[in-house]
Structure 1
């Protein structure tokens, strides 16, 4: 399979989880500020790192499900950056439309970077994606602490997009192997 085909396969997996959770919980996440979503992403990435270092977990969710969670929380974060937090639910069709749009934007970014970097991510370890996600979280937190202002760096959304793509790379390696 090509990278694009593998990426599309991961989109289907993540979208399926997002859709099922939306049926269970609605869009309750709409109340969260982007900073809270960043913290949720941190929890998932830190758990992946803990499992990688300890070699085992004591609860059911595995590394794969945590990467899916990072993807979905990052997309929710991008949606929240656009719409702002709200006590009101978001129509499910609109929530899925925004989710799909931002996931496609992440894929488009991956295609551009993949061209320039010549698929270097394929030679990386999954644990490196975890570390890069944790670094991006720290960068995002710093930007959030600076009220979204940067001097030379990309913004919060760019970090969310990168975390989506690092998570997708991890999922591709977990789903399809090296």
Structure 2
């Protein structure tokens, strides 16, 4: 029997470990990125995953697992940036960043459990390549919302899409055995 909460937490702890190491190395250089640039960074990672899934060969040596970890962390960055105002300093303290990371992940995990209740953990029977495609679809939606200056008529906003992409990435990482 699977334990989604424990598996989810294990994946997040792995992603967070890398994120915090990079935060200590680089500070919060990501604060310079506009939301559209973060979306494009996630797109690059998702597109690379899809290419590797199709071609089955990596010429740079980085694997799919690392790209999914990158998507998780960029989604957290995107959600943090959405909450920052123009007067938020570009350099944030490491302990503050860790609190923000935990806050964004907790909100996203709660959303995942609500959806898992309604969908019955359907992701467990999905192919990893379908999770990749769903992430790419969500990215196209976010790009369209961004191009429309955030205006939507009937859809969720960008944060919900980032949360879904984060959760799809965690599901893929669980399935990959991270």
Q: How does 1:31-70 map to 2 (within 5 A)?
A: 31-70=32-71
C-alpha distance in structure 2 between counterparts of 1:69 and 1:130, whole Å: 13
Give RMSD over aligned pairs. 1.2
Q: TM-score normalized by structure 1?
A: 0.96
Residue of structure 2 equivalent to 1:150: 152
Distance 1:84 1:126, change over 3 A: farther
C-alpha distance in structure 1 between counterparts of 2:116 and 2:60, whole Å: 35
Residue of structure 2 equivalent to 1:27: 28
Please give the secondary structure, in 2, of the residue aligned with 1:127. helix
Q: TM-score normalized by structure 2?
A: 0.96
Residue of structure 2 equivalent to 1:170: 172
Residue of structure 1 equivalent to 2:83: 82
C-alpha distance in structure 2 between counterparts of 1:100 and 1:147, whole Å: 28
What is the total number of aligned residue pairs between the two structures? 176
Residue of structure 2 equivalent to 1:101: 103
Please give the secondary structure, in 1, of the residue aligned with 2:177. helix
C-alpha distance in structure 2 between counterparts of 1:88 and 1:164, whole Å: 24
1:60 CA drift (Å) = 2.4
1:23 CA drift (Å) = 1.3
1:88 CA drift (Å) = 2.1
What whole-Å deviation, never above 9, does each CA across 1:153-173 have from its counterpart, x for those lacking one?
000000000000000000000
User: Structure 1 regions of 5+ residues with no counterpart?
Assistant: none
C-alpha distance in structure 1 between counterparts of 2:25 and 2:163, whole Å: 26
**Do 1:33 and 1:84's aligned partners in 2 also have CA atoms closer than 8 Å?**
no
1:87 CA drift (Å) = 6.5
Q: 2:137 aligns with which of 131, 135, 138?
A: 135
C-alpha distance in structure 2 between counterparts of 1:91 and 1:127, whole Å: 37
Residue of structure 2 equivalent to 1:110: 112
**Do 1:34 and 1:77's aligned partners in 2 also have CA atoms closer than 8 Å?**
yes
